[in-house]
Amino acid sequence: MSWVERHLNRLKQLYSSRGIPSLVADLADDNPVVREKARVMLVALGKPAVAPLVEALSDVNPQVRWEAAKALGCLNDPAAAPALVLALGDKRFGTRWLAAEGLVALGPAALESLFEALLEPDNTVLLGEGAHHVLHELSKKGLGPWLTQVMTALNGEEPQMAVPLAAFTALKALRASPPVKRPATIGGGTQSRQGDPRPQSSEVLKTSEVVSDRTGSGRNRHKGIP
């Protein structure tokens, strides 16, 4: 068993008495330190935290949505793709940006949900802008010429007509010949396999400090949450 796995097992034992719902509730706390600790714990818990975080991504509290988007981006689970796509239309720029970065990290696993959303002719401008950013970043990985076609439609004079058609063509091509999954870069340069629920290096380091803070052997130095 690796040190990361031992660390996560210790973490799960330490916080098992509270449970995921309690941690999700802490994402709404007025204290940014409490919010960050809860988010780091949820990321460390992995797959079981994905569904509750997806639900939190539609919370009425904008800070909860930001924390949920941040956590889901770190978890890198394809199951969160549809919710992250919807979050591209969030009223808060920070949440939209985190959702977009989460989709970029998912790589090919994000495309189907993104194209399906773009099939709707009444999509918001915000969703279109976020989708363009995601597709632009993914196009650098050589995932297919249809990404460029959708981006061109998004930039066109009549996107409401052109985008659904381009998205339909891209979705059909994607399902006929899915791109090969490649490692995604997350959290400042650490690579992981698609859908790997384990936290990335930056989140593991934060988790170490949170555990140290809770157990009295250190202090949490990560307090700057936008």
CA distance 75 to 39: 11
Number of domains into which the chain is organized = 1
Give which of 87, 32, 22, 15 is closest to 54, Cα–Cα: 87
Q: Confidence class of residue 207 from pLDDT cuts 50, 70 and 90?
A: very low
Whether residue 77 is contained in a domain is answered as yes
Whether residue 72 is contained in a domain is answered as yes
Whether residue 190 is contained in a domain is answered as yes
Whether residue 220 is contained in a domain is answered as no
Q: Which residues, in sequence order, are CB contacts of 226 under 8 Å at separation 6+?
A: 66, 94
- Mean pLDDT of the 26-55 span: 94
Most confident among 103-117, 133-147, 168-182, 198-212 (mean pLDDT): 103-117
Query: What are the pLDDT digits (tens) for 71-105?
Result: 999 999 999 999 999 999 999 999 999 999 999 99
Inform me whether the pLDDT recorded for 18 exceeds 80: no
Supply the pTM of this predicted model. 0.73
Whether residue 168 is contained in a domain is answered as yes
Single-letter amino acid code for the residue at 139:
S
Which CATH number is 137's domain given? 1.25.10
Query: What are the pLDDT digits (tens) for 159-189?
Result: 888 999 999 999 998 888 776 554 444 444 4
